[in-house]
A and B are shown apart, each in its own frame.
Chain A
Amino acid sequence: MADHRQRSGRRGQGELEALVLSALQEADGPATAGWVQERLGGDLAYTTVITILTRLLAKGAVTRERAGRSFAWTSASDQAGLAAHRMRKVLDGESDREAVLASFVTGLGPDDERLLRELLGESGSEGEA
């Protein structure tokens, strides 16, 4: 288990989630965790695959239904949707992310909105004239 944890740490959570999700997308219809594990070449432990699938479920990237004693998993979003979800979490977690990532626009102050509409309105009418 320690070995798997180490391996997943090295690979990065995001990368593992992407791997599992892409494997699931290649399946025709719902697939079991065992199928996903096989598809990935047995590189990951069964428990790791289950953990990642559960994490994807929490992010709304996969759905599951009961099939006998285990679950059958279906992918619900693509890689981009999953990336968007993860990115939102990074951004929401960082209160002053603007300090780190140069954002295209910063927030507007109390009077800024009115001022901005005035400026753009002027330029718009100039453009049409």
Chain B
Amino acid sequence: MGVFVFLPLVLPLTAWPIARLAEQHLHPRTATRLLTAVAAVMAMCSTLCLGLVMVVGTAQLPGNPLPDGWSDPEVRAAVPFDEVVGKAAIPALCAVVVACGRTLWRHGRVRRQAHRALAGLPATGVAVLPDEVPYAYALPGGRRDRVVVTTALLDRLEPAERRALFAHERAHLAARHHRFLLSVQLAARANPFLRPLCTAVSYTAERWADEEAARAVGSRRTVASAIGKAALVSRGTQVATLAGFAAPGPVPRRVAALLGPAPLVRRWPSLFTSVGLAAWCAAAGTAASAMSSANSAVTMVLILRAATPL
């Protein structure tokens, strides 16, 4: 098979251009779904590949529990440098499993703790907490989905902006955005090359909720000013960015997008514009890489199955 066995591990790199283009030019809902699906498929192929390389590379080691047939020369020929790579794959796979496990565990723990913190309050859809720190977020699960918001933030917003805030958070809950976010986080743990997709999806999910809120409130500018005010009020929480990366952060881009025209719910830009051409090329590249990832993973499975004595 040659070195292309390792392709699923590096092909997620090809998803970087499509992440940027989708973020900027697709409707946020389409972009979120597309990027999450791409990330999930690539992460699965990559992990499967890692697992198979590990199996092939370690099958000839003494004392392993794998079938004897898996150490046949034909099987080992499928993976170049099988001994070195196989051994390197063991810690890599362990790291993936541990990182994904930790992400899942932390996700569950934070949600449980947050629900427990709200115990004793009436079980309403919105929990308003008297706190001088301004924050708001959507808390899914538990006995019911809730929007958590502090008085400090509500006090700074006009009534229309408050409606925009609640509409935004309800959109997160209604569309189950936490599932998209968890999926891409797990994908980024499985293959670090998928991290730009994780960042892109967390941005497009916010944009999706912004657009839903703009539709519910009936004013794009109200949502924009609610976001802007909330961000300026809570600016104490500075994000640590490297000085070199002075590109606008997600909040100004969201505000700018809302001040512009509403995105069209078209599926794809036309092929005959420069944007369309780039988007189509990137999409084709991603599709091809996903296919070849799947292809090499399936080939490896078939080889191993052929070598397994029944």
Whether chains A and B associate is yes
Cα distance A104–B152 in the bound complex, in angstroms: 14
Tell me whether chain B's interface is mostly helix, strand or loop, or mixed: helix
Cα distance A119–B121 in the bound complex, in angstroms: 38
* 0/1 interface trace, chain A 63-96, chain B, CB 8 Å (1 if under): 0000000000000000111111011111101100
Minimal beta-carbon separation of B70 from chain A (angstroms): 38
Q: Are A13 and B116 in contact, CB atoms less than 8 angstroms apart?
A: yes
* 0/1 interface trace, chain B 72-110, chain A, CB 8 Å (1 if under): 000000000000000000000000000000000011001
A contact residues around B116 at 8 Å (CB): 12-15, 86
A129 within 8 Å of B (CB atoms): no
Q: Are A105 and B107 in contact, CB atoms less than 8 angstroms apart?
A: no
A54 within 8 Å of B (CB atoms): no
| A12 and B119 in contact, given A120-B225, A120-B228, A123-B259 (Cβ under 8 angstroms) | yes
| A109 and B246 in contact, given A103-B136, A119-B259 (Cβ under 8 angstroms) | yes
Minimal beta-carbon separation of A46 from chain B (angstroms): 21
Q: Report, nearest first, the 4 A-B pairs whose CB atoms are least far apart.
A: A18-B120, A86-B117, A107-B239, A84-B129
A2 within 8 Å of B (CB atoms): no
Q: Are B114 and A90 in contact, CB atoms less than 8 angstroms apart?
A: yes
Q: Are A110 and B225 in contact, CB atoms less than 8 angstroms apart?
A: no
A1 within 8 Å of B (CB atoms): no
Cα distance A97–B113 in the bound complex, in angstroms: 12
A contact residues around B128 at 8 Å (CB): 80
Q: A83-B118, A109-B248, A127-B221 are in contact. List 9 more A-B contacts (CB 8 A).
A: A87-B118, A90-B114, A101-B114, A106-B239, A108-B235, A111-B246, A112-B252, A120-B228, A123-B224
B158 within 8 Å of A (CB atoms): no
- Most-contacted residue by chain A among B117, B165, B241 (CB, 10 A): B117
Q: Are A104 and B239 in contact, CB atoms less than 8 angstroms apart?
A: no
| A87 and B252 in contact, given A107-B238, A108-B238 (Cβ under 8 angstroms) | no
| A116 and B255 in contact, given A83-B127, A105-B227 (Cβ under 8 angstroms) | yes
A-B contact count (CB 8 A): 164
Q: How large is the interface on A (under 10, 10 to 19, 20 to 34, 35 or more residues)?
A: 35 or more
Tell me whether chain A's interface is mostly helix, strand or loop, or mixed: helix
Partner of A123, one of B133, B225, B237, B241: B225
B contact residues around A100 at 8 Å (CB): 106-107, 110-111, 178
B contact residues around A82 at 8 Å (CB): 120
B44 within 8 Å of A (CB atoms): no
| A109 and B239 in contact, given A100-B110, A104-B135 (Cβ under 8 angstroms) | yes
Q: Are B138 and A102 in contact, CB atoms less than 8 angstroms apart?
A: yes
Q: Are A105 and B259 in contact, CB atoms less than 8 angstroms apart?
A: no
| A88 and B243 in contact, given A101-B139, A102-B138 (Cβ under 8 angstroms) | no
B contact residues around A112 at 8 Å (CB): 231, 248-249, 251-252
Minimal beta-carbon separation of B245 from chain A (angstroms): 8
